[in-house]
Amino acid sequence: MLPSHFGVGVWNNRLYIPVVPDPTSPFPVSPPRAWAEINLAHLRHNYHVASHHQHGDIMAVLKAGAYGHGLEKIATALENLPDDPAPIFLGVASVIEARRLAEIGIQTRIYLLGPTCPFEREEIVARRWTPCISSLDEAVSFNQQVASHHSGESPQKLPVHLTVDTGMGRGGFLPHELLREIDTLDQLDHLDIEGIGSHLPSADEDEHFTQKQFEQFDALVTALGSDRFQFRHLANSAGLLSYQSHCTNLYRPGLMLYGISPIKKFQHKLKPVLSLKSKVSLVRTLPAGHGISYGRDTVLKKETQVATIGIGYGDGYPRALSPDQTSVLIQGKRCPLLGRVTMDQIMVDVSTLPSCHSGDEVELFGSHILVSEIAQQANTIPWAVLTGITPRVTRIYCNE
Ligand SMILES: *Cc1c(COP(=O)(O)O)cnc(C)c1O
């Protein structure tokens, strides 16, 4: 684990520092004000939970920079698991994310989770990434692209998955369309249709609807002939954790790999990977009647020890957080937020913590305060808070 007070040497030694030290400068390079500690041992633990919860293979969902955890580092960790088989696919959102993985030599197959634009397909074919296909047009276009990429030689088929819209409304064949078009799809010589998938819009909210989706997916795959698809997949984290299917054999967890359960009752099985941290920069005693932060929504009722902390919405700590509900952790104790979150700083009440000093470490969320709790208080979801952590926040990896 990381020492609680970093010297510049420690940072130089193990960590990425966003500031290049200038040897001609007489001043030491200061560590960042806000950082995210990313515990890769916890990632491995969560992956183990995901891969043992159901029978089947894993597509690890790494879109949006691995939910803000750092695309390259998370992909590398998952490709080199000491105790579990590596994921079969890494799921990304875009060609840019796929390219970032290719550039560091990731060998695991890359799956593009959404529909692709025509101008992206040449690279997808050339690099043999796996697209999910939503329409006959898209399939025909890929088929032609494979033919022209290999002009002259006999083309190697491109493995592709079909995606079915069983209720998400974001992409995919409607089930009856797919039944009608499957014969035409089968005739596309340069495609190897190795998989079929669909997506769950409300697996953490609507059990009845989700159950129906599983049944519809199972029925469709059976009608098409389940043996023809090597990979059959429907479940995100919530689907993996709480639903059973007799036909699926590949799971697509995202959030749970990062240690957050979309369904509360499974949270105890997981370990949060990311802790958002900062430091106390100032502690002062302010008198009763003094206002705190923009808008002066908060006016102190009594004399209060106020700590200023070097993190704000410019780092991704949600501005929507309300002082009445939110607290931060200092010296293992919850200290309530005072006033509105500002761009670079927040204020908290440390009256119950007389030993609080400038330089004390602060956990905004992580193992003790779950990001789910913060998300709820900010009227949003943990996915959005994690992906909202901005580039200014230095990512620090432990237990690599
Ligand atoms: C994001 C995504 C997932 C992962 O969802 P989680 O809820 O984070 O587990 C799975 N499948 C698709 C198609 C996605 O877009």
Tell which one of 53, 252, 372 to mutate to probe ligand 1, the residue whose CB is within 8 A of the most ligand atoms.
252
Residue 19 confidence (pLDDT) above 50: no
Closest ligand 1 atom, CA of 132?
A: 13
Residue 153 binned pLDDT confidence (cut-offs 50, 70, 90): confident
Residue 120 confidence (pLDDT) above 90: yes
What is the percentage of the chain residues whose pLDDT exceeds 70?
Answer: 93
pLDDT digits (tens, 9 = 90+) for 299-317: 999 999 999 999 999 999 9
* Contact by Cβ (8 Å): 373, 344: no
Structure tokens of 196? 């079929």
Name residues contacting ligand 1 (CB within 6 A): 61, 63, 113, 199, 236-237, 252-256, 262
pLDDT digits (tens, 9 = 90+) for 65-106: 999 999 999 999 999 999 999 999 999 999 999 999 999 999
pLDDT digits (tens, 9 = 90+) for 257-288: 999 999 999 999 999 999 999 999 999 999 99
Question: Cα of 62 to ligand 1 centre, how many Å?
Answer: 9
pLDDT at 21: 54
pLDDT at 240: 98
Tell which one of 54, 58, 61, 267 to mutate to probe ligand 1, the residue whose CB is within 8 A of the most ligand atoms.
61
Residue 11 confidence (pLDDT) above 80: no
Question: Cα of 238 to ligand 1 centre, how many Å?
Answer: 9
Longest dimension (CA), the chain: 82
* Contact by Cβ (8 Å): 330, 300: no
pLDDT digits (tens, 9 = 90+) for 233-246: 999 999 999 999 98
Question: Cα of 92 to ligand 1 centre, how many Å?
Answer: 10
Domain boundaries, the chain: 40-262, 274-398
pLDDT at 29: 61
Instruction: For the chain, count helices (H), then strands (E).
Output: 12, 18
Q: Say how far apart CA 269 and CA 120 lie, in whole Å.
A: 39
Closest ligand 1 atom, CA of 255?
A: 8
Which residue has a Cα nearest atom 14 of ligand 1? 113
Residue 155 confidence (pLDDT) above 90: no
- Return the closest-CA partner of residue 109 out of 92, 123, 131, 89: 89
Give the end-to-end CA distance of the chain in Å, rounded to a whole number. Answer: 10
Q: Which amino acid is at 51?
A: S
Residue 15 confidence (pLDDT) above 80: no
Residue 109 confidence (pLDDT) above 60: yes
Question: Cα of 168 to ligand 1 centre, how many Å?
Answer: 12
Residue 129 confidence (pLDDT) above 70: yes
Question: Cα of 201 to ligand 1 centre, how many Å?
Answer: 10
Tell which one of 94, 113, 161, 257 to mutate to probe ligand 1, the residue whose CB is within 8 A of the most ligand atoms.
113
Strand intervals (E) in 67-157: 89-92, 109-112, 130-133
pLDDT at 25: 72
Assigned fold of 274-398? Lyase, Ornithine Decarboxylase; Chain A, domain 1 (2.40.37)
Which residue has a Cα nearest atom 6 of ligand 1? 254
pLDDT digits (tens, 9 = 90+) for 359-389: 899 999 999 999 999 999 999 999 999 999 9
pLDDT at 28: 62
Q: Which amino acid is at 72?
A: E
pLDDT digits (tens, 9 = 90+) for 318-364: 999 999 899 999 999 999 999 999 999 999 999 999 999 998 999 99
Structure tokens of 223? 């009608």
Residue 9 confidence (pLDDT) above 50: no
Closest ligand 1 atom, CA of 383?
A: 8
pLDDT digits (tens, 9 = 90+) for 24-67: 777 666 667 899 999 999 999 999 999 999 999 999 999 999 99
Q: Say how far apart CA 130 and CA 146 lie, in whole Å.
A: 13
Closest ligand 1 atom, CA of 257?
A: 9
CATH class label, 40-262: alpha beta
Residue 12 confidence (pLDDT) above 50: no
Question: Cα of 220 to ligand 1 centre, how many Å?
Answer: 21
* Contact by Cβ (8 Å): 267, 261: yes
Tell which one of 43, 130, 205, 236 to mutate to probe ligand 1, the residue whose CB is within 8 A of the most ligand atoms.
236
pLDDT at 151: 73
Active site residues: 63, 294
Those residues with Cβ within 8 angstroms of residue 129's Cβ, 6 or more apart along the chain or in another chain: 95, 98, 109, 110, 111, 112, 123
Q: How many CB atoms are located within 10 Å of the residue 104 CB?
A: 12
Return the ∠ at Cα 198 (arms to 196 and 199), rounded to 5°: 150
Tokens 């159950």 appear where? 211
Closest ligand 1 atom, CA of 262?
A: 7
Those residues with Cβ within 8 angstroms of residue 58's Cβ, 6 or more apart along the chain or in another chain: 47, 50, 51, 87, 88, 250, 251, 252, 253
Residue 128 confidence (pLDDT) above 80: yes
- Return the closest-CA partner of residue 110 out of 47, 50, 161: 161
pLDDT digits (tens, 9 = 90+) for 157-187: 999 999 999 999 999 999 999 999 999 999 9
Closest ligand 1 atom, CA of 199?
A: 13
Give the SS3 label for residue 219.
helix
pLDDT digits (tens, 9 = 90+) for 197-247: 999 999 999 999 999 999 999 999 999 999 999 999 999 999 999 999 989
Which residue has a Cα nearest atom 3 of ligand 1? 236
Question: Cα of 253 to ligand 1 centre, how many Å?
Answer: 6
Give the SS3 label for residue 35.
strand
92 strand-pairing partners: 112
pLDDT at 154: 75
